[in-house]
Structure 1
Amino acid sequence: MTSGELPKSIEETQGLLDSAGYVADRSLATVLHLALRMGRPLFLEGEAGVGKTEIAKVLAASLDRPLVRLQCYEGLDISTAVYEWNYAAQMIEIRLAEAEGNVSREALANSVFSQRFLIRRPVLQALETSSAGAPIFLIDELDRSDEAFEAFLLEVLADNQVTIPELGTIKAGEPPITIITTNRTREIHDALKRRCLYHWLDYPTAERELEIVARKVPGAAEQLAQEVVAFVQHLRNNEDLFKQPGVAETLDWATALTELNEVALDPEMVTDTLGTLLKYQEDIDRIKGSRAHEIVESLRQDLFAQGQSPQTGPLSR
């Protein structure tokens, strides 16, 4: 597979992700392969921190294509997301034309509403094809935007074009590779989902998360990596938390503990560093102290029974 070329099989797609350090299961590789081959947007839904945004970044790096990112938020409008006119430059053009006094009103209107005064925002940038090919267009956290903007995207996703009243329709020469992510804080309308291929990206299994930690935090001690993953998996599956930690938080925590020269989990250090793993004080209060001690003791015994971690004896702190 040459640089910039789309993968021709599921195995090549999985290999493409793997070469960039993204550990994906076959179901994700399959739907991504289909999205690439069919030229359809990929709609990724899942909890925050499971690696949805990272897929677009990996594709841009692996395929050597530009990444155009539209970060959604409440109040996002066309002038921020699609285009706006350079009003200051237009006013200067008008003043100069008035000073010359020999330009008709119609000619002046055509002049100021031309491509050279158009400021391209992410949506328009995504419709431009460079020498490297169509860009990777990341529409990140669509659920944070308003329904009105979501409705506007229908034309973009269906026809790969944008209509500008003063200029007409601008259509992509080559459709961008579009990745849409949502954390499901609200439902996205069916009309938009029908234009996409869909995939729910869940938290990884313990085995896959351990592989991710090994790749992303290669300096982490083997026992520390095993115990960090086991601790995080326990929190997700057994603790009633306001916000479960994602893979990004697992990597942050493993990195922090490695920076502190830890080679295994220590309950006292767990309590001291919970702020890198959990992002709500209520969750930290629930886990710190004696509860952290209990979890570390339990998971260490489980790992020892499975032959995955050396037994270090009862924890005294």
Structure 2
Amino acid sequence: MGFATIEAVQEALAGEDYICGRGLATVVFLSLKLGRPLFLEGEAGTGKTEIAKAIAAALGRPLIRLQCYEGLDAASAVYEWNFAAQMIAIRAAEAQGGADRAALKTELFSSDYLIERPLLRAMRPDPAGAPVLLIDEIDRTDEPFEAFLLEALSDFQVTIPELGTIKAPEPPIVILTSNRTREVHDALKRRCLYHWVDYPDMARELEILRARVPGAADQLSRAIVAFVHELRGADLFKRPGVAETIDWAKCLLALDVIALSPEVIADTLGAILKYQDDIQRLEGSEAKRILDKIAADAPLPIG
């Protein structure tokens, strides 16, 4: 399972329009080769979720995503019983009369009434091979759920009281992500290979933009990347990630923009900044100052 070399990882992911450096490619290679979960941490919008999608596509494996949130518990992540269907079955049995209660109970808590959630689905065999299990934004959950994951990721099995223990015939490829809104417990991190996903440098971000928005003119793409990199150095509540760079380029392409200008930036700031205070900071003279700076650094299409 996996790729023959680190270079093969980079090539395969590039084929899925995911451009990564050697550091990330190395930890992906080792995670697949050793069968260890991969823990990716970094700012929002740096491509942590996309790497799981790209790995699944490159390997031809199904992707199963568990989106974490505050209050998520083991039952919600593993399974639940189809209560509505169970009630219908009970009423139908009562209407027929003379139902065998023991047989009915066995039927009600069979796989026919089981709703499988991501962790249980990841344990099931699949003709395409073990799935990629993405546990997204683990930092949004609490410590009890982390403790549950320790066991689930250690033995790759889950227990349903009514059905028993279900063990994965082949361990899934596990990728956990965190935006570091809180520290994840060391015990969970120790079971994983770790990588900090940082903002890419300008050359790599330009390469990413070319792959994801091929219709954008090269000079405009350079101007977009240069402007976003300047924004990341500003005192903002939320710095724009790579996802915002791509969104902004798509917006400018849809508007047939060929050059950046203060007016164009003001009209499209909502694509790269998500907080009103940050938008107000960039309106007017600040946007022009950044444009003048990047124009002085390199000949870019700025109008």
- Shorter-chain-normalised TM-score: which range? over 0.9
- The answer as to 2:33 corresponding to 1:37 is yes
1:130 maps to which residue?
Answer: 126
Task: Give the C-alpha shift of residue 97 in structure 1.
Answer: 4.9
1:88 maps to which residue?
Answer: 84
2:98 maps to which residue?
Answer: 101
Query: How many angstroms apart in 1 are the aligned matches of 2:183 and 2:282?
Result: 32
**Aligned match for 1:188, one of 146, 167, 184:** 184
1:273 maps to which residue?
Answer: 268
1:17 maps to which residue?
Answer: 13
2:171 maps to which residue?
Answer: 175
Query: How many angstroms apart in 1 are the aligned matches of 2:23 and 2:171?
Result: 24
Residue identity opposite 2:19 in structure 1? V
Alpha-carbon contact 1:221-1:264 (below 8 Å) kept? no
The root-mean-square deviation of aligned C-alpha atoms, in Å, is 1.7
Task: Give the C-alpha shift of residue 52 in structure 1.
Answer: 0.3
2:242 maps to which residue?
Answer: 247
**Count of aligned pairs:** 302
* Runs of 5+ unmatched residues, structure 2: none
2:209 maps to which residue?
Answer: 213
SS in 1 for 2:19: coil
- The answer as to 2:222 corresponding to 1:222 is no
C-alpha distance 93-207 of structure 1, shift in aligned 2 (>3 A): same
Query: How many angstroms apart in 1 are the aligned matches of 2:123 and 2:40?
Result: 21
* Runs of 5+ unmatched residues, structure 1: none
Query: How many angstroms apart in 2 are the aligned matches of 1:157 and 1:69?
Result: 15
1:269-294 CA distance string (max 9 Å, x none): 11221111111111111111111111
Query: How many angstroms apart in 2 are the aligned matches of 1:267 and 1:212?
Result: 25
**Aligned match for 1:111, one of 95, 103, 107:** 107
Structure-1-length-normalised TM-score: 0.90
1:104-155 CA distance string (max 9 Å, x none): x544433322222211111101111210001111111111122222221111
Residue identity opposite 1:204 in structure 2? P
- The answer as to 2:14 corresponding to 1:26 is no
- The answer as to 2:54 corresponding to 1:58 is yes
Structure-2-length-normalised TM-score: 0.94
2:141 maps to which residue?
Answer: 145
Residue identity opposite 1:264 in structure 2? A
Alpha-carbon contact 1:85-1:117 (below 8 Å) kept? yes
2:280 maps to which residue?
Answer: 285
Alpha-carbon contact 1:43-1:198 (below 8 Å) kept? yes
Query: How many angstroms apart in 2 are the aligned matches of 1:230 and 1:299?
Result: 7
Query: How many angstroms apart in 2 are the aligned matches of 1:92 and 1:284?
Result: 53
